[in-house]
């Protein structure tokens, strides 16, 4: 598809965990995930903590080497070291924690200019300085902040520094790993609006990872839902909110707070029994079956296929027709 910028096919990311003196066991953080992101769109990725959202984002940018699967960027498969180097010039990441993702020994100007230094993207110091000041004004920072250190700023300002660093190379694709979860609610709205503005100005494509469903709904064109390393549902944002099909998605959507008190009283909250299983000892078949009220023997026997059930709406569930 000509308008697809990023495509992922059967992505797997396993980490070998020591279980004894000489034995290891694979922790399946991401297990056979496939999706695509269109040029200029925002794909929201949601799920409980530990479901593999961040690992998908990091593996997508080759910060972790994929265990298996294929990653395509702008129609080209990312394989060799040279491919990864070129890909990294066109992609960037905004990290979750603005406190630990910035080097405390570097000034704000040096932090923002680090990608420019790595890829040697300026002819002289003056050009570097002008580019830094341009990026700072783009994210709402004053030029006098350039020679200060990260610890002198609030959480929201630090995240703006991180966003300016991510935009330094004029990327086409940005992975946003829960970029507002560490911020106050009042600051969250400002940062989300800034992501929207930057997308309009620069034609950016986002993978937006979050667990706050209201934030995801506001910013995303489509939403993908993950559970225990697997993708269970993918559809347009409005469709997934109004007509969730997978039992896990229905449970997530029932937990979204409603601003209307009358509607909130009538909303039936679905409470799941049990805890999320460990990815080290994941259940056989469908990973959600141990907590699913509709689970059957078929669910334990095999993993349901992640397939298109309506136009643009993908679900992985054996009992979809019976649930309704």
123-168 pLDDT per residue, tens: 899 999 999 999 999 999 999 999 999 999 998 999 999 999 999 9
* First-last CA distance in the chain: 32
Is residue 253 in a domain?
Answer: yes
Is residue 145 in a domain?
Answer: yes
- Residues 235 and 287 grouped into a single domain: yes
- Residues 59 and 160 grouped into a single domain: no
Q: What is the CATH number of the domain that holds 241?
A: 3.40.50.300
Tell me the pTM: 0.92
Greatest mean pLDDT among 186-190, 191-195, 268-272 lies in: 191-195
Question: 3 and 39 in contact (C-beta within 8 Å)?
Answer: yes
d(CA 107, CA 163) in angstroms, rounded, equals 15
The arrangement of strands across the sheet holding 4-18 comes to: 24-38, 4-18, 68-73, 76-77
β-pairing, 42-46 vs 24-38, is unpaired
Question: 217 and 209 in contact (C-beta within 8 Å)?
Answer: no
- Residues 146 and 246 grouped into a single domain: no
Give how far Cα 134 sits from Cα of 58, 113, 140, 174, Å: 28, 11, 10, 19
Query: In angstroms, how far is CA 149 from the centroid of its own chain?
Result: 28
Least confident of 89-98, 151-160, 178-187, 304-313: 178-187
Counting the structural domains of the chain, the total is: 2
- Residues 112 and 74 grouped into a single domain: no
Give how far Cα 239 sits from Cα of 11, 15, 222, 224, Å: 25, 34, 9, 12
pLDDT digits (tens, 9 = 90+) for 5-43: 999 999 999 999 988 888 999 999 999 999 999 999 999
- Residues 189 and 285 grouped into a single domain: yes
d(CA 80, CA 89) in angstroms, rounded, equals 15
Quick one: which of 312, 230, 199 has its CA closest to 11? 230
**pLDDT computed for residue 323 by the predictor:** 77
- Residues 158 and 214 grouped into a single domain: no
Does residue 80 sit in helix, strand or coil?
coil
Give how far Cα 142 sits from Cα of 133, 159, 178, Å: 8, 14, 25
d(CA 289, CA 247) in angstroms, rounded, equals 10
Quick one: which of 217, 101, 122, 213 has its CA closest to 170? 122
- Residues 82 and 110 grouped into a single domain: no
pLDDT digits (tens, 9 = 90+) for 92-105: 999 988 888 999 99
Does residue 289 sit in helix, strand or coil?
coil
Predicted confidence (pLDDT) at residue 260 exceeds the cutoff of 80: no
What letter does residue 269 receive in the DSSP assignment?
Answer: P
d(CA 56, CA 119) in angstroms, rounded, equals 25
Q: Report the residue count for the chain.
A: 324
Predicted confidence (pLDDT) at residue 268 exceeds the cutoff of 80: no
Is residue 96 in a domain?
Answer: no
Name beta bridge partners: 14: 28
- Residues 61 and 155 grouped into a single domain: no
- Residues 165 and 176 grouped into a single domain: no
- Residues 78 and 160 grouped into a single domain: no
**pLDDT computed for residue 129 by the predictor:** 93
Tokens 């993950």 correspond to what residue? Answer: 226
- Residues 179 and 211 grouped into a single domain: yes
Please indicate whether residue 252 or residue 259 has the higher confidence score (pLDDT): 252
Range of the domain at 157: 101-170
Is residue 95 in a domain?
Answer: no
Among the residues of 67-174, which ranges form H helices?
Answer: 81-89, 108-118, 125-138, 155-166
- Residues 182 and 296 grouped into a single domain: yes
């Amino acid at each position: 598809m000509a308008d697809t910028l990023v495509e992922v096919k059967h992505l797997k990311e396993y980490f070998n965990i020591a279980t004894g003196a000489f034995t290891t066991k694979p922790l399946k953080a991401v297990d056979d995930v496939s999706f695509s992101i269109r040029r200029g769109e925002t794909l929201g990725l949601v799920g409980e903590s530990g479901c593999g959202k961040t690992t998908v984002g990091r593996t997508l940018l080759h910060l972790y080497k994929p265990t298996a699967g294929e990653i395509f960027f702008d129609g080209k498969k990312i394989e060799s070291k040279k491919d990864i180097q070129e890909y990294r010039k066109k992609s960037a990441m905004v990290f979750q924690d603005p406190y630990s993702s910035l080097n405390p020994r570097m000034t704000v100007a040096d932090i923002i200019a680090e990608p420019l230094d790595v890829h040697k993207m300026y002819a002289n110091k003056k050009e570097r300085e002008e580019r830094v000041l341009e990026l700072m004004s783009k994210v709402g920072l004053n030029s006098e902040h350039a020679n200060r250190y990260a610890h002198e700023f609030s959480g929201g300002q630090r995240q703006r520094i991180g966003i300016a660093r991510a935009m330094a190379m004029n990327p086409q694709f940005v992975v946003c790993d829960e970029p507002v979860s560490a911020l106050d609610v009042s600051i969250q709205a400002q940062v989300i609006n800034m992501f929207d503005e930057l997308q309009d100005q620069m034609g950016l494509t986002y993978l937006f990872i979050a667990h706050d469903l209201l934030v995801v709904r506001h910013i995303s064109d489509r939403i993908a839902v993950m559970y225990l390393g697997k993708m269970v549902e993918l559809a347009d944002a409005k469709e997934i909110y109004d007509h969730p099909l997978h039992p896990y998605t229905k449970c997530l959507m029932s937990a979204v707070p409603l601003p209307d008190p009358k509607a909130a009283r009538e909303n039936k909250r679905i409470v799941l029994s049990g805890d999320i299983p460990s990815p080290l000892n994941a259940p056989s078949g469908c990973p959600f079956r141990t907590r699913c009220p509709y689970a059957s023997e078929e669910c334990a026997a095999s993993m349901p296929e992640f397939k298109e059930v309506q136009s643009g709406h993908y679900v992985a569930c054996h009992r979809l027709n019976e649930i309704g």
